[in-house]
Amino acid sequence: MKKDGKLRVTINLTLATIFAALVFVVTSQIPPIPIPATGGYFNLGETTIYVAALLFGPFVGAFSGGIGAMLADIYLGYVHFAPGTLIIKGVEGALVGFLNIRLKNWIPNSTVRAIICVVLGGIEMVAGYFLYETLLSVLFPSLEIYAIAEVPLNIGQLLVSLVIAVPITHALLRIFPQLKRQI
């Protein structure tokens, strides 16, 4: 049965909302590790963003990443990061999902493709937070945000999430082979 446009929109909105909730829960409830030196925190929410983007594409990745992570920032008391997180994590999810679709013809190995997409999306996240924290430290010196100190921690978060997200994505594709038609 062929799906019409309205059903596709409804499915994507539903998936995006479910994954936004998952990003929020994973980010805020799997104990985030505060980093006093930088004013940020280490979390595993990145993993959920990558899974959403790899399985369901750029819209679900962008919406779930931006909204879910922003709500977690607000909930955890990192309100000053929320506007940047909305944009940075949204672009990250969109980039991973977009690249996964576009590189399919050039990189048929799904594991290699997923790793490349996640690394490139993660680089955007690391650079985005560096620029955002630099801007915050200039605008609000009292926040004492040390943007350069956050870079290795964000790289660590990227790598840990990569190691978790790619196997989860492959496991879900094995369990639910019909998901392969989604991407």
What's 96's domain CATH number?
A: 1.10.1760.20
- Judged on CB neighbours under 10 Å (0-12, 13-18, 19+), 174 is exposed
As for how many domains the chain has, the answer is 1
CB 56 within 8 Å of CB 183: yes
pLDDT of 148 reads 87
Nearest to 113 by CA among 157, 159, 166: 166
Predicted confidence band of residue 57 (pLDDT cuts 50, 70, 90): very high
Looking at residues 151-179, what average pLDDT do you find? 94
* CA triple 161-112-153, angle to 5 deg: 25
User: Does pTM top 0.95 for this prediction?
Assistant: no
Question: What is the average pLDDT score of the chain?
Answer: 92
CB 69 within 8 Å of CB 23: yes
Task: Please state, in angstroms and rounded to a whole number, the distance separating the CA atoms of residues 117 and 97.
Answer: 8
Percent residues over pLDDT 70 in the chain: 96
Range of 148's domain? 5-181
Predicted confidence band of residue 146 (pLDDT cuts 50, 70, 90): confident
Q: What is the pLDDT of residues 99-133, one digit of tens each?
A: 999 999 999 999 999 999 999 999 999 999 999 99
Task: Please state, in angstroms and rounded to a whole number, the distance separating the CA atoms of residues 148 and 170.
Answer: 34
pLDDT of 8 reads 87
pLDDT of 1 reads 43
